[in-house]
Structure 1
Amino acid sequence: MERTQIEALANQFIKGKIDFPETVNPRVQAITLRIVTDLMQTINDLKITADEYWSGVEYIGDLGKEAGLLSPGLGLDHFMDLMIEEDMKEAGLEGGTPRTIEGPLYVEGAPESKAFARLDDGSEDEQGTVLFMQGTVSDQQGKPLPNAKVEVWHANSLGNYSFFDESQSHFNLRRSIITDEKGNYAFRSVVPLGYSVPPNGMTQKVLGALGRHGHRPAHIHFFVSADDTRKLTTQINIDGDKYLWDDFAFASREGLVPEITMIEDAVDLKEKGLGKPYASINFDFQLLNESNSKVQGSEVERRRVQG
């Protein structure tokens, strides 16, 4: 079938019969028309059979909540970040801490602390490695930002997230930290482990057919925000992880892999009240000024779990 025939059919299917013109959303109509046209073209070009087509329909029906894993696994989350960055560059917004994907595991309503927070509930004190992370939040000119909000969440030492892993306490490894008068934040936690998509799940079904794994390196997520600045969505990766530069979600970026130092000095351990070495990470966040153009990506509207 020729492209012109496919375009005519798609127009007929999407725009040819409008029963309620007052309800038409032009944006939804344009996006749907393009998707249907391109999908029909793909079916035509690749000679997709009826069996294959209905297998795809059934897959979408079974995908359910794993859509939040398949999207980054196909690179679409990262692609959206690249689109946001293009818009930012066109608006003259460059520099600052690199952004990267949010992922599907944020939960709203984490407890809030001033300057310092302990993220973990102590349940992994024996088997996990204690982590202290600290730094400063500054604006585009490098000026420290007091009362900035640092929202942080990550997996435990088994690669599981609270709320999604019912064995963990509420808001374990999730906190909001308000920076002090010098723009400083700090927290105590445990070194996380990277997670994998469910081995028998719908996401791995596609990744396996593509010859790909579904593993993520150990990482820590952040939202960082302050008045008159763009909200930053980012994450840092734990250096030395096997999958550091082989993340199935394509979220690893230069500038987001800080050095991790093991502290063994007896004086330091005593000061922290610890009897074994702990890990330390220093990382500063630099936020960009909010522009009048309201470039997309500062606040992304999406469904998130309510705590």
Structure 2
Amino acid sequence: MPIRIPDDLPASNILKSENIFTMSESRASHQNIRPLRVLILNLMPKKIETETQIMRLLSNTPLQVDIELLRVDARASRNTPQKHLDKFYGDFERIKSQKWDGFIITGAPLGTIPFENVYYWDKFTEIVNWSRHNVTSTLFLCWAAQAALKILYDLEKVTRDDKLSGIYSHNTHHHQHPLVRGFDDQFWAPLSRYAEFNSNDIQSKTDLTVFADAPDAGVYLAASPDCRQVFITGHPEYDANTLHNEYLRDIEEDLEPVLPVNYFPNDDANQAPRAIWRSHGNLLYNNWLNYCVYQVTPYDLTDLK
């Protein structure tokens, strides 16, 4: 939460220049406060696991957040009980007339499938285009980031022969920007994808700012100038064992996966992995929620354009 300080306090401008979360007395006295409304489109197979991971990060803030879960595929799930889906997940038709403070669209295990062959591609495209005018800020994760870059910028993904799987070290850029406030110069983040985007391509072909990338994995974090679209090509929400479980799944499906890099101690899959990215994940979600949503969303969401 922001600290409330007098308008003319000398520290005010200094703190603002350092992107410290401050609020002037004059603004605070006129501030209306309400819960933030955040919509989550969960495309992952194990929906209960994914929703828990994301909500864990969203809960690590003093801001009050109301969550609504959304699905795009009405087919029966092999990994989530139907009762759970029917009880907790809504359909797009029911919510599309509403406005939202924030929107999170998860990844999906569709890395090697052409976009046009995805079962729900048309509906997904409609949702992404709808979000531009009905959501203050949308956070696209992994596959959703790849798909949204295609829809919004006609940017083609480069599909690798080998999967980027493991914990990768990324470099932070534009430290003065609130989205990466508090980031170390380098940080670790989980990746699990076949696609990659080159920083030079994104910067030359779009208006996006690249805030983090890795020499061996490409762009990790990018955003539009107004931060209404934020793209994360990894999974800061992952638990310690998530990549392990995906590795075992790929083995069972005869995909001959490579061992996730920088993940198992001594590269021994029999040893328990350790999470070394939690602080980054929490900070990224906090910055997004505070600066891209809370600080700019209108009190009356009907005013959102």
Structure number with higher relative contact order (C-alpha < 8 Å, ≥ 6 residues apart): 1
Asked if these proteins are the same fold (TM beyond 0.5), I'd say: no
Task: Quickly name the TM-score band, shorter chain normalised.
Answer: under 0.3
Richer in helix (by share): 2
Richer in strand (by share): 2
Q: TM-score, normalised by structure 1?
A: 0.26
